[in-house]
Structure 1
Amino acid sequence: MTAGPAAQPIRPRQPAVLPRPAWEAARAGDLARLRPLADERIRRASRGEKHPVHDFLFEYYSFRPAHLLRWTPGADVLLEGASPGELAWSEFEPADGGLLLPAAAFPAHRVEYLRWAAAYLDAVAAREPSFACLGLHEWAMVYRDPNVRHPYVPLRLSRADTDAVVESQPLRCTHYDAFRFFTADAVPRNRLELTRAATSEHDQPGCVHVTMDLYRFAYKVAPFCPSGVTADSFELAAAARAIDMRASPYDLTGYGYEPIRIETKDGREEYVEHQRVLAARAAPVREALRAVYGRLLAAVPG
């Protein structure tokens, strides 16, 4: 195993200054990236419609569209000429003719979370990626069980053939939040018996779900995380979720998604290639989040 770069001590910084034209342009750019899926979710909810790929981004992850569209430059950035009515986050304070969110204002009762999350991100960054799971987690969630997580979407194969795919290969899931949805018959087939407490010991950067979860680390510290980083992680989560579900046993052709047929050799190779691309794309997002968490920890007491 090759260790990732050691996190360097981060000194509290002086506020960066964004002139009004610069922060208005940054806000417009970030919102243009976030608005399409957020607005689509709002319209879909008003019609009572389901989407097996995109709903995950707003149901499994607990950040509402309205909050996703609240723009922020992050902590310690002075927005010149900004007034309270122009930002939806009440945490910003008047300062030097504009608004500022001091990193030191991060809530004291959440500092323990900051420490855990920073250590988790460091541990994942230092771990070698693994591409051995072959996307079987969604198959393990329906194994030998008449109930499915997306009952309004048909399976691609018969129930017997779906179960046979799970039985044809060992399960190598390393991510607890996927493993916890395995059916009772699938759980003992996994190479590891995963637990919530051991999450930091097993999560690794090749995992599609670990890549998706970078979005959670962005919004968990809103508005102290810049919207640009949140947008990067949200777009990454959307891409990872699409790969996740294309490789699943569900038939999503009606939603415009061609399957990655992991029940075949070519499909497994295709899935691994997608994993590698996602892992490479996730690396700079993870580093940006490590920097956000590191700066917050450097600014808060204790």
Structure 2
Amino acid sequence: MDYKELWEPEPGWLNTASYGLPPRPAWEALQAALGDWWVGATSWEPWDESTTRTRESFARLLGADAADVFIGSTVSAALAPVAAALPEGSKVLTDDVEFTSNVFPWKVHEDRGVEVIAVPGAELVAAIRPGIDVVAVSAVQSSTGAVLDLAAVVAASKEIDALVVIDASQGMGWLPLTVDGIDALVVHTYKWLMSPRGATLGYLSRRLQERCRPTAANWYAGDDVHGSYYGDRMVLAEGARRFDQSPSWFCFVGAAPALELVEQIGVETINQHNLALANEFRDGLGLPPSNSAIVSTSLPGADAAFKAAGIRAAVRDGKLRASFHIYSTRDDVHQALAALKPLT
């Protein structure tokens, strides 16, 4: 099957690190749901079936048990119960360019003595020493595209029994990942998983589930969803589902077919495609090859040159950031290099 036919990007889209483009099955599913909403053709339960499908697909992609997966809307809200469970005086280690959705949930507990320690990414593993209680870091850095040495982080954290909390929003969908040795992994699906913004998923290890209080408990987290609408009797679901936030239905309607397509294509296949294009782009700029689908360059004038050529990328931390995904082509690479050629 030629999967590229499932997308219709305008040439020059190199900004998946900002948001991904929906594959045709996701787009059509969302349009059908919106059509039903427009005329009141159905109740909400058929839309909610997509939430279950998304949860199960997410679990399969990570080699996790679906019972250990919860759903929500944002990364920061998903991490809030974990941060709230930290004892007073806990120390949280992170990267000094970490996206703040994985920083602020910890920092708001500074009044309880929680300390966030930020170090350069190259020094992160060495900084995992006794006294660190949590290592909270991204699998792939948003601003630089740097890929975390996750195995080294997990190994060093296990030696001191520190929790490992991973924001995989910039990696899941192209970077092979599992939850082995990880206590929490949270992903917003609107980037590399090509879903509508508003569908977040998270994995919680069993030991972390026991430590955390479901502070956003709601009807959807009830053991019997339909029996949890009213009253003061609360029986929450077993496992990670008790941490569910009430889902944005249409976001998950689009997310389910998108994640299932990633499964169908295969993350390894996507990884090879993305890295081939990213490294061709790097080579054209005189940069060494990398293991990331994100290319960050400080080439002066690059952003203006891209805009003049109709290429859509982003500027992050003062650098041009281009990102390549399954629907990107060599033509996109050549167009981007041609736009930058006068600057090199």
TM-score, structure 2 as length reference = 0.27
Give 1 or 2: higher strand fraction: 2
TM-score, structure 1 as length reference = 0.30
Give 1 or 2: higher helix fraction: 1
